[in-house]
């Protein structure tokens, strides 16, 4: 039963279609030619680089907690990014379909395919990883999981899934607070994205 929550959660989110803000934080650098004093110079736009002081721990328990956070971020972050990419792709494709019936049929096919592909992997996630995934989805998509479900499934079904998450001690209305309670996790996420962890 504890493995059902993360699997059901990602399954629902892979079907969401919403108007999302922003782009990936780490875009590939594309060289451009710039004129400078009559000469052409190749220029690059570089990604942001985050520098943190070395992590200090007061005891072994705190160090183990940090290592667990790294493990959980490495496991769930790819799925949050996958959900973001799927949302963008689905939204763009659905806009090209001529009728509501065609949109519904496409979403149903996509639902079945995604469920078959990702259910075995997500069943192995722990409850804490499922809660982290909810937060990382908010971080990647700039919208809470509840808002995304509400936009796609409507308020009644979004409320049902939030109630279901509540039975496991989670909330789909959880927001990402990188300057507040999620500061340590934000640090880990940024270091993982840069390939330093």
32-62 pLDDT tens trace: 778 888 888 888 777 777 788 888 889 999 9
Token pair, residue 39, equals 């000469």
Domain ranges of the chain: 4-193
Distance of alpha carbon 175 from alpha carbon 171, whole angstroms? 9
Read off the pLDDT of each residue in 73-102 and give the average, rounded to a whole number. Answer: 86
Token pair, residue 48, equals 């942001």
* Of 28-32, 123-127, 130-134, 173-177, the least confident: 28-32
Distance of alpha carbon 18 from alpha carbon 87, whole angstroms? 7
* Of 3-17, 20-34, 113-127, 180-194, the least confident: 3-17
pLDDT tier, 96 (very low <50, low <70, confident <90, very high otherwise): confident
Collapsing DSSP to helix, strand or coil, 76 comes out as: helix
Q: From residue 178, how far is each of 54, 70, 81, 196 by CA, in Å?
A: 19, 16, 17, 19
**Triad 184, 186, 192: Cα angle to 5°:** 105
- pLDDT surpasses 70 at 90: yes
Distance of alpha carbon 187 from alpha carbon 189, whole angstroms? 5
Counting Cα atoms < 13 Å in the Cβ hemisphere of 36 gives 6
Read off the pLDDT of each residue in 122-128 and give the average, rounded to a whole number. Answer: 84
3-state DSSP: the chain helix, strand, coil percent, rounded to 5?
60, 5, 35
Query: CA gyration radius for the chain?
Result: 20
pLDDT at 153: 67
pLDDT at 18: 33
Distance of alpha carbon 114 from alpha carbon 14, whole angstroms? 7
* Of 36-45, 80-89, 103-112, the least confident: 103-112
pLDDT tier, 30 (very low <50, low <70, confident <90, very high otherwise): low
56-80 per-position pLDDT tens digit: 889 999 999 999 999 999 999 998 8
Distance of alpha carbon 6 from alpha carbon 173, whole angstroms? 16
What global pTM score does this model have?
0.70
pLDDT tier, 160 (very low <50, low <70, confident <90, very high otherwise): confident
């Amino acid at each position: 039963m504890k493995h059902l929550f993360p699997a059901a959660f990602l399954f629902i989110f892979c079907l969401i279609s919403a108007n999302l803000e922003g782009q990936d934080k780490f875009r590939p650098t594309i060289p451009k030619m710039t004129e400078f004093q009559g000469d052409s110079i190749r220029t690059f736009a570089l990604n942001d680089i985050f520098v943190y002081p070395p992590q200090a721990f007061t005891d072994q328990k705190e160090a183990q907690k940090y290592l667990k956070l790294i493990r959980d971020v490495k496991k769930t972050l790819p799925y949050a990014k996958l959900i973001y990419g799927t949302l963008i792709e689905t939204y763009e494709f659905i806009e090209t379909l001529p009728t509501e019936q065609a949109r519904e049929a496409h979403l149903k096919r996509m639902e079945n395919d995604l469920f078959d592909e990702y259910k075995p992997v997500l069943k192995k996630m722990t409850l804490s990883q499922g809660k982290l995934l909810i937060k990382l989805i908010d971080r990647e998509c700039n919208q809470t999981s509840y808002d995304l479900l509400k936009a796609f499934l409507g308020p009644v079904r979004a409320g049902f899934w939030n109630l279901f998450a509540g039975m496991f001690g989670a909330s789909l209305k959880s927001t990402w607070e990188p300057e507040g309670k999620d500061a340590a996790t934000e640090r880990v996420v940024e270091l993982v994205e840069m390939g330093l962890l």
